[in-house]
Amino acid sequence: MTGSEIIPDVERRYQELNRDAERGGYHLNPDLSMTKGLIEGLLINKERYGYEACPCRLAFGTIEDDRDVICPCDYRDPDLSEFGACYCGLYLTGEKIADGTGAPAIPERRPSRSERKAKQMPGSGQEKTLPYPVWRCKVCGYLAARDAPPEVCPICKAKKDRFEIFIS
């Protein structure tokens, strides 16, 4: 698919993302030409890989390798807190929008390829001490004490596979 076939969908996706962002206490970048360019990138990646990988990161095309950079990525909220913007500039804080300087160039927070490979999966031999395990959304930090994570995070709309066991 070429970019030109995607363009009619950009406006629709922009409206959806903007609505979800505002409902969840987030804001899209008010620079519409940049924001819609990034959303076009998300749609191109959806077409290429089957999911909306961050347009400013190189996706590898397998969900195991790319899960942490599916938008909204695991690094959005830490970057919003530290820099007032997410890595690609799709999301800005209200404060950053007010100062009008736009999306800054910020350092990549995602670990390098070799660091990601070296990262061990958390141990699974913990004793269960609570009536329910606590699941944490890696995107926005939402916590849910229940047997399994919700299908979709009620706060940031990330899918179930973005949750990790926080306390069990």
Partner 1 sequence: MVITPIHIEGKDKGKVMLYALSTCGHCRRTRELLNELGVSYDYLYVDQLSREEMDTVLREVEKFNPRGSFPTIVINGSHTIIGAREDEIREALA
Ranges assigned E (strand) in 126-162: 134-137, 143-145
* Pick 9 or 150: Cβ nearer partner 1: 9
Which lies closer to partner 1 via its Cβ, residue 31 or residue 150? 31
Least distance (Å) between residue 55 CB and partner 1: 4
Q: At what angle do helices 32-49 and 3-23 cross, to 10 degrees?
A: 110
CB atoms within 10 A of CB 77: 19
Task: In angstroms, give the least distance from the CB of 105 to partner 1.
Answer: 4
Tell the smallest beta-carbon distance from residue 83 to partner 1 (Å): 12
| Residues whose CB is less than 8 angstroms from the CB of residue 162 and which lie 6 or more positions away in sequence, other chains included | 67, 70, 74, 137, 138, 139, 153
Q: Which is nearer to partner 1, 103 or 153 (CB)?
A: 103
Tell me the β-bridge partners of 59: none
Q: Write down the least CB distance from residue 20 to partner 1, Å.
A: 20
Q: Rounded to the nearest whole angstrom, what is the least distance from the CB of residue 118 to partner 1 in the complex?
A: 13
CA 26, CA 19: separation in Å to the nearest integer?
A: 10
Write down the residue that tokens 């490979």 correspond to.
117
**CB-nearer residue toward partner 1: 23 or 113:** 113
Specify the residue, 34 or 63, whose C-beta has the smaller distance to partner 1: 34
Identify which of 156, 133, 12, 147 has the alpha carbon closest to the alpha carbon of residue 73. Answer: 156
Interface residues toward partner 1, by CB under 8 A: 34, 37-38, 40-42, 44-45, 55-59, 61, 88-89, 103, 105-108, 110, 112-113
